[in-house]
Amino acid sequence: MPSSLLKSAREIVRHRTLLGVLVERDLKVRYKRSVLGLFWTMLNPLLMMIVFSVVFAEIFRFSFEHFTIYFLSAFVLWNFVAQTTSWSTACLLGYAPLIRKIYVPAAVFVLATVLSGLVNMLLSLVPLAAIMLVVGHPIRASVMFLPVAILLAVFFAFGLSLLLAGICIEFNDVVQIYQAVLLGWMYLTPIVYPLDIVPNRFRWLIAINPMYYLVEIFRVPIYGGVLPDARLLWRAGLVAIVALGTGWWVFERRADRIAYLV
């Protein structure tokens, strides 16, 4: 299997020019009928801040400072993973005419979807930084760690996207099922609430949730102003690598049939 994965990775590198074109096309198509275009990516966190701040900060009155930063520093990463993996469920069908006509590694189309989502996430960091300045939350040197957290999130999102794309071309019902799963998954991840309000008997649900580790290593440098501890980082790295390896393995087992299934 390692040699097969290495061969697939080389194929993707060989088609890197096409990958760049696909990312650009994906961004243009996604926003071509939008008046605000890519600006919507930066406006969205502001609207989410208003909604969640009113609902959770005021109604539930969580007792910690700068709830908006606590929420957004997790939601930005969660939204990236949720969006890209959701888009990936149908990305191969969208490129079906091209896949049937010429040989291109199918994983390139999935990776293009993930990278276009990454562009969206990076743009959403701009309003997050602006909000931090407005509310007086310090931006510390620990944010220099964010590229590591983002890279692990990309690995995880790519792996999960490969898994979903490989399954959805044969079982389209997974598309609808995954949307329902995402909703429950978000509320099982400490994004809008602090971990310490979760009863001890339910903490195991957090412990087996891979997004908890990815979200925390992203939020801690922003909200806490410190580097994540080694155990948290190790677990985040583990779930990212396992997701990438599993997704790629499942996808490669279906690669030869993709042109006949899409």
Using CA atoms, how far apart are residues 183 and 246, in angstroms rounded to an integer?
A: 23
pLDDT surpassing 60 at residue 42: yes
Using CA atoms, how far apart are residues 161 and 85, in angstroms rounded to an integer?
A: 5
pLDDT surpassing 70 at residue 61: no
Mean pLDDT of 134-140: 89
Planar angle of CA 160, 182, 79, nearest 5 degrees: 75
Enter the tokens of residue 101.
């006509």
Decide if 76 contacts 45 (C-beta within 8 A): yes
What sections of the chain are H helices per DSSP? 2-14, 16-31, 39-52, 67-94, 96-101, 107-135, 146-168, 173-187, 203-207, 210-219, 230-254, 258-261
pLDDT tens, residue by residue, 182-203: 989 998 999 888 888 888 888 8
Place 64 in a pLDDT band, splitting at 50, 70 and 90.
low
Q: CA torsion sign, 65 to 236 to 181 to 205?
A: negative
Place 175 in a pLDDT band, splitting at 50, 70 and 90.
confident
Residue 109's pLDDT is what?
86
How far are the Cα atoms of 67, 140, 227 from residue 144, in angstroms, in the given order? 22, 9, 9
Enter the tokens of residue 155.
């690995």
Contact partners, residue 61, CB within 8 Å, separation at least 6 = none
Using CA atoms, how far apart are residues 46 and 130, in angstroms rounded to an integer?
A: 10
Residue 244's pLDDT is what?
93
Backbone angles phi, psi at 193, to 5 degrees: -145, 155
Residue 108's pLDDT is what?
87
What global pTM score does this model have?
0.87
Using CA atoms, how far apart are residues 244 and 249, in angstroms rounded to an integer?
A: 8
Looking at per-residue pLDDT, the higher value among 141 and 135 belongs to: 141
pLDDT surpassing 90 at residue 229: yes
Planar angle of CA 214, 88, 206, nearest 5 degrees: 25
How far are the Cα atoms of 50, 139, 216, 229 from residue 226, in angstroms, in the given order? 26, 11, 11, 9
Using CA atoms, how far apart are residues 17 and 95, in angstroms rounded to an integer?
A: 17
Residues in the chain: 262
Domain residue ranges in the chain: 2-261
Tally Cβ neighbours within 10 Å of residue 42.
17
